[in-house]
């Protein structure tokens, strides 16, 4: 029967680093130190990295071909156990995913062979490799989510291009625009986010495997061969910096925070547009909830959650930046705190894009309500532009248009109900064709310069968006 001292020693004796320590660990410290219950998300990446490392050590003579075959076969069983949720985590022993996988491998193929796997390798490089592999793959999934969202945006912009609505500045009615123009104002911002995502993913996809703890590998391991096997585009080239680098996580979170800030503003507009006061759009029941008290309510909870989760995403980024800003060079345990926020950030961003796609693809746009919200005073700039085309300086026409606005307010009528004689009374340079100004479709069609809200300009924006999806 084990003595009390042996029981006290057990937690550290079973660790990979346990030979250095003779005393036991505080049980709270054991759980405080463990990361297995969240970094197990990297089980597949850790196994792939271990197989690539073992293959390279076989080429350099550390392992025999038979030993490598046993390691590869053993890891196949370990991976299956993770996939079927039958892997038995040993609390207090399986400190992290690396120790758990190696411990189980030893049980399957024997510790004599499994014990050779870690030759020249450190968990410092393992976690850096696992995180890059996992994040690369997850961002590629997010790229497909964002592409789907942008395809829905482009399709609706084309289909609903004839819908005209108020455009706003300072949340005040400003000028008539196309509904499609509003869609693309965010769509092109999201397309720029897509470009950034591709750039971030490329920078993440660089291999630190073969760096050791910090000084490099002593066994002439072929880092390029391992990188190629794991699908990395290139290598990192400084072992000290590589094991400590979490900039790739920060950059991914900075990207995600930017994306979520755009989603938050997009959601805020749709929250307003779905209210009874606007009634420009109606959300599908699948993305709304009701009130426990007021049966008439239809709440845009999906959009409110998108707006709220942008703060959560920002918190991930800000928290990690504060964690790493003051640590000294190479690996420090503080870096373990990069894992949980990364996992939650990726899930938050990925889920949010999919929810946004669902909202937009099922949204009911209401062009009659949009048209009803347009008012003649929104054509005041068109009135000024009329005189500009007749050679009057804009500063003067702006003042004249303002006098027309004041006259309509004084008379208590919309601007388009003023008679031609009343307009001539404001300025004698108005001709009878001034009455054609009171046409919202004409107004949007006059904004024909690239990037404007005319039909041709909007359709050109759709093509630009499609080109960005294709990487042009």
Comma-separated ranges of CATH 1.20.200.10 domains in the chain: 123-372
pTM recorded for the entire structure: 0.91
Rounded mean pLDDT of 171-184?
97
Q: How many CB atoms lie within 10 A of CB 3?
A: 8
Please report the pLDDT score of residue 9 as a whole number: 45
Q: Where does the pLDDT of residue 2 fall: very low under 50, low under 70, confident under 90, or very high at 90 and above?
A: very low
CA distance 359 to 161: 19
* pLDDT at 22 exceeding the cut of 70: no
* pLDDT at 4 exceeding the cut of 50: no
pLDDT in tens, 422-451: 999 999 999 999 999 999 999 999 999 999
Please report the pLDDT score of residue 331 as a whole number: 96
Token representation of residue 143: 């790229």
Using the CB atoms, write b or e for 442-458: b if 16+ within 10 Å. ebbbebeeeebbbbebb
Comma-separated ranges of CATH 1.10.275.10 domains in the chain: 34-114
Q: How many residues does the chain have?
A: 472
Q: Where does the pLDDT of residue 218 fall: very low under 50, low under 70, confident under 90, or very high at 90 and above?
A: very high
Q: Where does the pLDDT of residue 298 fall: very low under 50, low under 70, confident under 90, or very high at 90 and above?
A: confident
Please report the pLDDT score of residue 8 as a whole number: 43
Number of H helices, E strands in the chain: 20, 6
Please report the pLDDT score of residue 32 as a whole number: 87
Rounded mean pLDDT of 229-244?
97
* pLDDT at 385 exceeding the cut of 50: yes
Rounded mean pLDDT of 319-325?
97
**Beta strand 206-207 pairing with 234-235:** parallel
CA distance 179 to 161: 7
Least confident span in 16-20, 30-34, 322-326: 16-20
> Taking Cα atoms as reference points, which of 97, 102, 108 lies closest to residue 73?
108
Q: Where does the pLDDT of residue 415 fall: very low under 50, low under 70, confident under 90, or very high at 90 and above?
A: very high
* pLDDT at 240 exceeding the cut of 90: yes
Please list the residues that pair with 175 across neighbouring strands. Answer: 167
Q: How many CB atoms lie within 10 A of CB 242?
A: 26
Options 3.40.50.2000, 1.20.1340.10, 1.20.1050.140, 1.10.40.30; CATH for 376-438 is 1.10.40.30
- The answer to whether 359 touches 287, Cβ cutoff 8 Å, is yes
Q: What is the mean pLDDT of the chain?
A: 93
Q: How many CB atoms lie within 10 A of CB 461?
A: 23
> Percent of the chain, pLDDT > 70?
93
pLDDT in tens, 248-277: 999 999 999 999 999 999 999 999 999 999
Task: Give the CA-trace dihedral at 325, 330, 331, 335, to 10 degrees.
Answer: 20
CA distance 51 to 74: 10
Please report the pLDDT score of residue 12 as a whole number: 52
Please report the pLDDT score of residue 26 as a whole number: 83
Please report the pLDDT score of residue 216 as a whole number: 97
pLDDT in tens, 45-70: 999 999 999 999 999 999 999 999 99
Please report the pLDDT score of residue 215 as a whole number: 97
Please report the pLDDT score of residue 43 as a whole number: 98
Chain-centre distance of CA 59, in angstroms?
40
pLDDT in tens, 351-368: 999 999 999 999 999 999
Please report the pLDDT score of residue 33 as a whole number: 87
- Residue 155 has φ and ψ, to the nearest 5°, of -65, -45
- The answer to whether 98 touches 46, Cβ cutoff 8 Å, is yes
Options 1.10.3720.10, 3.40.50.2020, 1.10.275.10, 3.30.70.1380; CATH for 34-114 is 1.10.275.10
What one-character DSSP code corresponds to residue 173?
E
Rounded mean pLDDT of 216-239?
97
Rounded mean pLDDT of 314-340?
97
Q: Which residues are catalytic?
A: 170, 291
CA distance 339 to 41: 10
Q: Where does the pLDDT of residue 292 fall: very low under 50, low under 70, confident under 90, or very high at 90 and above?
A: low
Query: What CATH code would you report for 123-372?
Result: 1.20.200.10
* pLDDT at 17 exceeding the cut of 90: no
What one-character DSSP code corresponds to residue 452?
S
CA distance 54 to 65: 10
Please report the pLDDT score of residue 21 as a whole number: 52
């Amino acid at each position: 029967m084990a003595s009390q001292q042996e029981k006290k020693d057990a937690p550290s004796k079973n660790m990979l680093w346990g030979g250095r320590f003779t005393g036991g660990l505080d049980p709270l410290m054991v759980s405080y130190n463990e990361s297995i219950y969240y970094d197990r998300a990297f089980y597949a990446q850790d196994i792939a990295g271990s197989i690539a490392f073992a293959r390279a050590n076989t080429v350099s003579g550390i392992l025999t071909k038979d030993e490598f075959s046993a390691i590869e076969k053993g890891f196949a069983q370990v991976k299956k156990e993770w996939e079927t949720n039958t892997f038995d985590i040993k609390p207090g022993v399986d400190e992290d995913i690396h120790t758990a996988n190696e411990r189980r491998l030893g049980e399957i193929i024997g510790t004599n062979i499994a014990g050779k796997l870690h030759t020249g390798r450190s968990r410092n490089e393992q976690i850096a490799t696992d995180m890059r592999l996992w994040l690369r793959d997850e961002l590629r999934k997010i790229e497909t989510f964002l592409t789907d969202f942008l395809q829905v945006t482009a399709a609706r912009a084309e289909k609903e291009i004839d819908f005209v609505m108020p455009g706003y500045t300072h949340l005040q009615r400003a000028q008539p625009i196309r509904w499609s123009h509003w869609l693309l104002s965010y769509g092109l911002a999201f397309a720029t986010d897509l470009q950034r995502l591709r750039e971030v993913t490329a920078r993440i996809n660089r291999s630190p495997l073969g760096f050791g703890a910090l000084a490099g590998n002593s066994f002439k391991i072929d880092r390029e061969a391992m990188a190629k096997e794991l699908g990395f585009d290139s290598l990192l080239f400084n072992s000290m910096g590589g094991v400590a680098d979490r900039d790739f996580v920060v950059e991914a979170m900075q990207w995600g925070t930017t994306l979520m800030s755009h989603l938050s503003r997009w959601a805020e507009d749709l929250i307003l547009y779905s209210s009874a006061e606007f009634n420009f759009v109606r959300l599908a029941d699948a993305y709304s909830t009701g009130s426990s008290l007021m049966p008439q309510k239809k709440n845009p909870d999906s959009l409110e959650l998108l707006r709220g989760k942008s703060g959560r995403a920002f918190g991930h980024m800000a928290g990690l930046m504060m964690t790493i800003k003051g640590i000294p060079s190479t690996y420090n345990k503080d870096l373990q705190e990069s894992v949980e926020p990364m996992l939650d950030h990726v899930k938050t961003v990925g889920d949010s894009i999919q929810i946004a796609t669902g909202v937009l693809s099922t949204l009911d746009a209401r062009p009659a309500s949009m048209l009803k919200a347009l008012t003649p005073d929104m054509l005041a700039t068109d009135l000024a532009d009329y005189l500009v085309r007749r050679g009057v300086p804009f500063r003067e026409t702006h003042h004249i248009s303002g006098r027309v606005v004041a006259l309509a307010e004084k008379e208590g009528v919309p601007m388009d109900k003023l008679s031609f004689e009343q307009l001539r009374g404001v300025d004698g340079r108005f001709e009878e064709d001034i009455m054609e100004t009171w046409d919202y479709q004409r107004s949007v069609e006059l904004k024909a310069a690239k990037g404007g809200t005319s039909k041709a300009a909007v359709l050109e924006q759709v093509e630009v968006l499609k080109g960005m999806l294709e990487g042009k």
